[in-house]
Chain A
Amino acid sequence: LAKTTQPISMDSYEGQEVNITCSHNNIATNDYITWYQQFPSQGPRFIIQGYKTKVTNEVASLFIPADRKSSTLSLPRVSLSDTAVYYCLVSKKTVAQKLVFGQGTRLTINP
């Protein structure tokens, strides 16, 4: 399993764009990159998943460079409600039981 490394914590302000980068140097050819969000006292929530280049949905964008050794989750115009822990995971798309949640990035949005 590819190990992921992401910042322990980040701070930003309302209205700003926030980019959280995850490093996964040993990513395999058939690995996908998935991001989850977790609010206090709740279960994680799927945000976005990608394999290469760029993926965008109504919540976030995911940028993956050509070498796929890192990925960046981009949250546009954050609000206080985006304060949460964000997890970057790398896994085979067909082997969900191998999802490994690290410590994640604790994002704090300030007024």
Chain B
Amino acid sequence: IAGITQAPTSQILAAGRRMTLRCTQDMRHNAMYWYRQDLGLGLRLIHYSNTAGTTGKGEVPDGYSVSRANTDDFPLTLASAVPSQTSVYFCASSDSSLAPNEQFFGPGTRLTVL
């Protein structure tokens, strides 16, 4: 089934640990994004990538890093997790040449940092 998959679905992590959230899309979209959503709030952009090999910072990039080695995968890494990074993380993609504002979202990863 075409779309975006994220893994894991949920995770409880001890503070200070390193964690990578995985995101894979099979729509051959050139652009991909990572957002976080805190309880009762809208989404905030963490990092984005307009095409494989390039990345950019969003609104809240501190404490996170990304890489885009190929078109399909866009992992998000927390080098040393802190409790304030407890959130739901959504990965998204879009075809920026056709409809960049029409983003397709994954099911999310619920991360709890203790």
Contact = CB atoms under 8 A, between A and B. Distances in A.
What interface size band does chain A fall in? 20 to 34
B82 interface: no
A94 B41 contact: no
Contacts, number: 63
Nearest to A32: B101
Interface residues of B, number: 28
Interface string A36-76: 00000111111001000000000000000000000000000
A44 B31 CA distance: 17
Contacts of A99: 45, 101, 103
Nearest to A87: B42
Given A44-B43, A97-B45, A101-B44, A34 B33 contact: no
Interface of A: 32, 34, 41-46, 49, 87, 89, 91, 93-97, 99-104
